[in-house]
Structure 1
Amino acid sequence: MLKNKVILIVLFQIICATVYSQAAPVRMGVVGLTHTHVHWIFNSDFHPEFDIVGIVEPNKDLAQRYADQYAFSMDLVYNTLEEMIAAKQPTAVTAFGTIYDHLKIVEVCAPAGIHVMVEKPLAVSLQHAKKMKQLADKHGIHLLTNYETTWYPTNHKAFELIQQDTLIGDIRKIIVRDGHRGPKKIGVDDEFLVWLTDPVLNGGGAITDFGCYGANLLTWIMEGKKPNSVTAVTAQQQAANNPKVDDEAIIILTYDNAVAILQASWNWPIGRKDMEIYGLKGAIYADNRHDLRVRIARGYDEFTEEQMTLAERESPYHDPFVYFAAVINGTVSADPYDLSSLENNMVVMEILDAAIKSARLNKAVKLK
């Protein structure tokens, strides 16, 4: 009898420890609905790691459209970030408005100790990014940047493989290609199109919209090392659709023993987000989210090839908002130059700033 009682007490203690060790859902606010990547967080809201407690969107017709689609109450919707914070006291916010808005969001949230995740890129300019970092550091908040390619199993498998020095050998060249036919051609919503093609609100055209992906991946692969120089060429091939911004950008980065080519375009006939990594012995092709190939050289132009189809990554590394909640709760700790990290994305902003200058001046720009 005593033995059974002891067993019951131990089981009760285990159950209590398990319950209390589970962190409460992070109270998350959504700031803006004009960036259509916002569908991502609404489609992720079945996860128990976070709750959407408030939404900021002054355009009530737009908010109603999302409310109808995702069955949330318009009582959740506020005109300003300050109103939402006062009413809902979120622990964190995710930004889905213009890139220009990112600085203002951090200016409001950081002093209140509210963590922030923005959609890529981090900021509209290097100047804005520096102010955001100062605020994040001063007030001790997490400031993360979300890229679709951060969650690709192929990119992480490629990163894992290049750590094996004997597989493809030392890296000598990386090519990253990102983009689609252009915002208007793929039919983005009007409220998204109006600022995505604005040089002030978006910071540029394809050079910022898609150049940031490759800069982010390169900074991660190079473990935070900045390129020695940045050379960029931009063009406008769809003047009628993108009258104020570039829609084609090629960015060349030089490192001590390697080069990288970023091809950011709103003129691809087929949308793409892929990467090629070339070493002295072979190459890795991350063709899309799930398909990866490894080629090992044999002779002059022969090779052996291994093909992989990869499953989604395990939680919390499969979803940006689950990951954000895990970082806030301390259940995961990001390395300094991880894809979402502030350190990585400050380098991204330096690369983009140099690329824009290079294209304007028609010459290479050296990074300090």
Structure 2
Amino acid sequence: MVGCGGVSAMHFDGYQVHPERIRIAAACDPRPERREWAQQTYGVEQVYASLEEMIDGSEWTAAVLCTPTNVRQDMVRTLAAAGKHILVEKPLSDTFTEASLIVDVCADAGVHLAVNQNFRDHYAFDIARRLISDGRVGEVHGVVHTNLMFRQDRGWRTQIQRHAMSVMGVHWFDGFRHMLGREAAWVWCRTSSSPEVDCAGETDAFTQLLFDHIPVSYVQSFSSRLRRTDTVVLGQLGTLEFGYDTVSLRDKDGSTEWENPYAGRGKPESTYLSLNRLLDALDDGGEPSNSGKDNLRTIALLDAAYESARAGDPVTLTGGLPT
């Protein structure tokens, strides 16, 4: 475990219930109180003040990288040079250019790189994907997604220029891709920042996307006094409505509902699934579905939304990548 900040608890919680698959060999963090926390809370025997010390002092196969994005590229270079496979917290990087460099570094070193896009499972995107693939809604005519909350972050996140979409939009952009099985061709976005939230970046974003011919409307707010998160998929034969917990399909026969086992307390398990996809790839020699290469298209969407907001014009993509 590289970095023992707040997000690492989700990883520790998910991994420790799978001793048949994972052994947490070591952890590193420059803060002694976080190293002590990892030892006392999760029984991690070997802890180190730096990544270099951990590489030299212990034996392990894969690293889970939970550091802030501004130091991620250097950490990946060090891990790849040591031949370690990597699961990176999202976003993979702050920009598409940096993300591409990270993917290239790992490819050149011959190590696998995956991204913890656990909302494919934690949010009900994967259930919706299966229903769409099975033809239960027919041709998809459009998607409306809303994520409203009042959120005041602390620490390093409040200091970076990319905020609300970087924190949550990276989940939703990836989820749209996963659910629809398509790549975006066009993005339009407008952002704003509320004085009610202490941060350097945007608090609100209104984004329109085209996945081939399918329009997606996405609203993000960290300043809303109304709390709401839901997704509606309008189809030729039926309508899906879902959030974290359940998926409802309404069609001519009535309404059917499915529960998402990875919502709520299942969030650590959704994180384990992300790591396990990397481990499966190591076992069979394939590439994980959440690979860094795949995730470039998620980061490209994030980049395109910010560029559209900056320039005031739509941004076009080819195969989900910058034109």
Q: Which residue of 1 aligns with 2:4?
A: 33
Counterpart Cα distance in 1 of 2:175 and 2:285: 19
Match of 2:115? 145
Q: Is contact 1:211-1:249 (8 Å) kept?
A: no
Q: Give 1:171 shift.
A: 1.0
Matched, 1:351 2:266: no
Report matched runs for 1:323-342 at 5 Å. Answer: 323-325=274-276, 327-329=278-280, 330-331=282-283, 338=289, 340-342=290-292
Matches for 1:71-110 after TM superposition, within 5 Å: 71-73=43-45, 76-110=46-80
Q: 1:146 to 1:254 in 2, by over 3 A?
A: same
Q: Report if aligned partners of 2:30, 2:49 keep a CA contact under 8 Å in 1.
A: yes
Matched AA of 2:133: Q
- Structure 1 CA distance for aligned equivalents of residues 273 and 137 of structure 2: 34
| Cα drift, residue 346 of structure 1 | 0.3
Return the offset for 1:54. Answer: 1.5
Conservation of the 8 A alpha-carbon contact between 2:124 and 2:247: yes
Q: Secondary structure of the equivalent of 1:168? A: coil
For residues 250-269 of structure 1, the aligned pairs below 5 Å read: 250-269=206-225
Amino acid at match of 2:257: Q
Residues 322, 218 of structure 1: CA spacing in aligned structure 2 closer, same or farther, 3 A cutoff? closer
Between the aligned partners of 2:128 and 2:92, the Cα distance in structure 1 is 24
Taking a change above 3 Å as real, the CA distance of residues 275 and 344 of structure 1, as seen in their structure-2 partners, is farther
Structure-2 separation of matches of 1:327 and 1:118: 11
For 1:195, the equivalent position in structure 2 comes to: 156
Q: Distance in 2 between matches of 1:231 and 1:90?
A: 44
Structure 2: runs of 5 or more not aligned? 318-322
Q: Is the 8 A contact 2:149 2:221 kept in 1?
A: yes
Specify the structure having the higher radius of gyration (Cα): 1
Aligned residues: 312
Matched, 1:304 2:254: yes
Query: 1:236-268 CA deviation, whole Å, 9 max, x = no partner?
Result: 1245522x1111112211233211122232234
1:183 matched to 2:152? The reply is yes
Q: Deviations over 1:124-146 (max 9, x none)?
A: 11111010111121122221111
C-alpha RMSD of matched pairs (Å): 2.7
**Residues of 2 paired with 1:92 and 1:261: CA distance?**
37
> C-alpha separation between the residues in 2 aligned to 1:97 and 1:215?
22
Q: Where in structure 1 are there 5+ consecutive unaligned residues?
A: 1-29, 185-192
Deviation at 1:41, TM superposition (A): 1.9
Q: Report the CA distance shift for 1:105/1:153 in structure 2 as closer, same or farther (over 3 A).
A: same
Report sequence identity in percent. 20
Letter aligned with residue 139 of structure 2: D
- Which of 124, 142, 165 lines up with 1:173 in the alignment? 142
Equivalent in 268, 275, 294 of residue 249 of structure 2: 294
